[in-house]
Amino acid sequence: MSEKSQERELGMNRKITRRDFLDGTALAVGGAVVSSAVPRLFGLSQLDSAPEKNRTYYPPALTGLRGNHEGSYPVAHSLRDHTFWDSAAKPESTGETYDLIVVGGGISGLAAAYFFRKHGGVDARILILDNHDDFGGHAKRNEFRAGGRLLLSYGGTQSIDTPSQYSKVAKGLITELGIDTQRFYKAYDQELYEKLGTACFFDKETFGEDRLVTGMGSRSWGEFLKDAPLTEKVRHDIERVYAEKVDYLPGLSREQKRAKLAEISYADYLTKFCKLGPDALPFFQSYTHDEFCVGIDAVSALTCYETGDDYGSFTYPGFDGLDLGDEGKKEEPYIFHFPDGNASVARLLVRSLIPAAIPGDTMDDIVTARADYARLDDAKSAIRIRLNSAVVKVANDGPAKSAKGVTVAYMRGGKLQTVRGKSCTLACYNMMIPYLCPELPEKQKEALHQLVKSPLVYTHVAIRNWSTFQRLGIQHIIAPGSYHTYAALDFPVSLGEYRFPSKPEEPMVLFMLRTPCSPGLPQRDQNRMGRAELMETPFSSFERNIRDQLARMLGAAGFDPAQDIEGITVNRWAHGYAYSPNPLFDPQWRKGEEPWVIGRQPFGRITIANSDAGASAYTDAAIDQAYRAVEEVMASG
């Protein structure tokens, strides 16, 4: 087939909204290109200096390349490359002063504002600056229009994970925002997908031929593997390790076993201790992608054991005979999910901080409430959120020890502006802080540099209906060798006026996960390479890969990418999960010597929040770190 007709067959010529006119590599800093990127996303004039005030400005409805979207990062990258100040214009003061300036409008930054107002009084003047076109940080909202209806989905932060384990502070905030987690037991339809299982897609590049095999985890492993394009030996190895209850670490105490598992990768555990042949590893390689953004070569066996029961059908085999006790096993179901994920948590925070910006007052009505972006940065409001504003410098006014205020400089609409504050909380990516505050002690900057985030992509595809999945009897697809290594129907949650598409003939959002990594390298290097890859990949390549993969996985069952795809949003998180320590590559730091602890020390009137500061890629960490950072602000008087 010619390339042209192949493109047509995949539907590359189909009209869906594509917002990829600015290729990452084509962007330059300082010129009109950067300042015009955001207005153009909303179809506005390049000269529009306050695009948020325009009626057409509504980021959740944008499709195409989102997440770390075009226009959000060139300023940061030029700071990193030490080129920003070469061509920077003279800063202009806005003349504004605040009690607190928060850098970063993710859950941590929004929570910092919330806690500061709580401690500092309702009149506290707070400015939140964020370099993206929408608030929420990773907790973003995706909207689609498909089949004449609204489909909601999440751009990043997916669910309130294990809320029973949240700290008192995080639980308190969730409750004060009006979230009753018990409600999800009813809102989340735990029966809808009960009869739908998991399939594995074996791709020809990795396994020699394309084949979708259903019944993973529901049929016996022997039955399931009989249909897989794997050699007899590989099938036997996989079946054996799932079936046998052998102590692969005989003669060691529980403590010694845990220590051993912590120092070897899961891949090594499978081959060296469970005695699987190396040819079996590609089947397991991506089991860890969702949680850790790298494969089983770079995740310790202990970590796999401790997170092992989360995945239903794809549990990590090899631990049943070790008698390690059942520490780390989670008991709560994974159902605490708003239709737009934790974007609702961010939206509830914004509603609390700036009531005029989002109508309503319950966890139900937040789901369909439309945010009014024109009200976020309103001079009449004590609390303001200024989007599309990349902070480039944060400095104490005078020596850190005696400073009574801070000055913050940021780029907005191509202009360098400054604001003054009594204090500043940095709730932004921690590894960027050394570029914003070069005056920090060297040891602290070095520690912050180590907090390398993991890149990942949450792709959402609006499809015409989900009858192919119904016919195949599947809800999830694991695709260990494919571009996206996991695909799943959206979470079945109906809340407020939002109704989940519960009938197979209704349009649906399909989730697809990609975590670009380079097996064999240390985690930080894999993360850096993955990030570089993401920044170089235009939307058209993502789209072609998505269409091609869906055709190969589901085409035989009737899915037609040219007809069945109604919209695509690629949430590209080049800076995704917060770094968390990996026993395979990191030393055992003494308490207080961990890089995230050294990194988050207050510096004069500047304090540091973000989930990075807790070395934990979870919403509760973002909240807890916000609380601590605000306590430090309050303590400094």
Ligand X SMILES: Cc1cc2nc3c(=O)[nH]c(=O)nc-3n(C[C@H](O)[C@H](O)[C@H](O)COP(=O)(O)OP(=O)(O)OC[C@H]3O[C@@H](n4cnc5c(N)ncnc54)[C@H](O)[C@@H]3O)c2cc1C
List residues binding ligand X (CB under 6 A).
76, 103-109, 129-132, 137-139, 156-159, 161, 390-391, 427-429, 432, 456, 458, 573, 576-578, 610-611, 617-619, 621-622
User: In the bound complex, what is the minimum distance in angstroms from residue 427's beta carbon to ligand X?
Assistant: 5
In the complex with ligand X, which residue's Cβ is closer, 30 or 318? 30
> CA-to-CA distance for 371 and 134, rounded, in angstroms?
10
User: In the bound complex, what is the minimum distance in angstroms from residue 289's beta carbon to ligand X?
Assistant: 12
Three-state SS at 566: strand
DSSP bridge partners of 357: none
Listing DSSP states for 605-625 in one string gives TEEE-SGGGGT--SHHHHHHH
- For residue 379, give Cα distances in angstroms to 97, 382, 436: 12, 8, 26
User: In the bound complex, what is the minimum distance in angstroms from residue 574's beta carbon to ligand X?
Assistant: 10
User: In the bound complex, what is the minimum distance in angstroms from residue 308's beta carbon to ligand X?
Assistant: 18
In the complex with ligand X, which residue's Cβ is closer, 242 or 483? 483
Residue 186 CB coordination number (10 Å)? 11
> CA-to-CA distance for 634 and 637, rounded, in angstroms?
5
In the complex with ligand X, which residue's Cβ is closer, 527 or 610? 610
**Look-up of token digits 């901080």:** 353
> CA-to-CA distance for 36 and 45, rounded, in angstroms?
8
User: Which tokens in the block code for residue 117?
Assistant: 């107002």
Q: Contact, 571 vs 155, CB < 8 A?
A: yes
User: In the bound complex, what is the minimum distance in angstroms from residue 208's beta carbon to ligand X?
Assistant: 32
Indicate the residue type of 197. G
Three-state SS at 15: coil
In the complex with ligand X, which residue's Cβ is closer, 116 or 248? 116
> CA-to-CA distance for 28 and 19, rounded, in angstroms?
18
In the complex with ligand X, which residue's Cβ is closer, 152 or 551? 152
In the complex with ligand X, which residue's Cβ is closer, 133 or 297? 133
User: In the bound complex, what is the minimum distance in angstroms from residue 337's beta carbon to ligand X?
Assistant: 8
User: In the bound complex, what is the minimum distance in angstroms from residue 432's beta carbon to ligand X?
Assistant: 5
Residue 150, judged by CB atoms within 10 A of its CB (0-12, 13-18, 19+), counts as: middle
User: In the bound complex, what is the minimum distance in angstroms from residue 578's beta carbon to ligand X?
Assistant: 6
User: In the bound complex, what is the minimum distance in angstroms from residue 453's beta carbon to ligand X?
Assistant: 8
Contact partners, residue 260, CB within 8 Å, separation at least 6 = 249, 252
User: In the bound complex, what is the minimum distance in angstroms from residue 332's beta carbon to ligand X?
Assistant: 13
Q: What are phi and psi of 236, to 5 degrees?
A: -60, -45
> CA-to-CA distance for 625 and 612, rounded, in angstroms?
9
DSSP bridge partners of 476: 198, 488
In the complex with ligand X, which residue's Cβ is closer, 41 or 427? 427
> CA-to-CA distance for 75 and 28, rounded, in angstroms?
9
In the complex with ligand X, which residue's Cβ is closer, 516 or 561? 516
> CA-to-CA distance for 581 and 601, rounded, in angstroms?
19
In the complex with ligand X, which residue's Cβ is closer, 126 or 456? 456
In the complex with ligand X, which residue's Cβ is closer, 41 or 281? 41
Residue 508 CB coordination number (10 Å)? 27
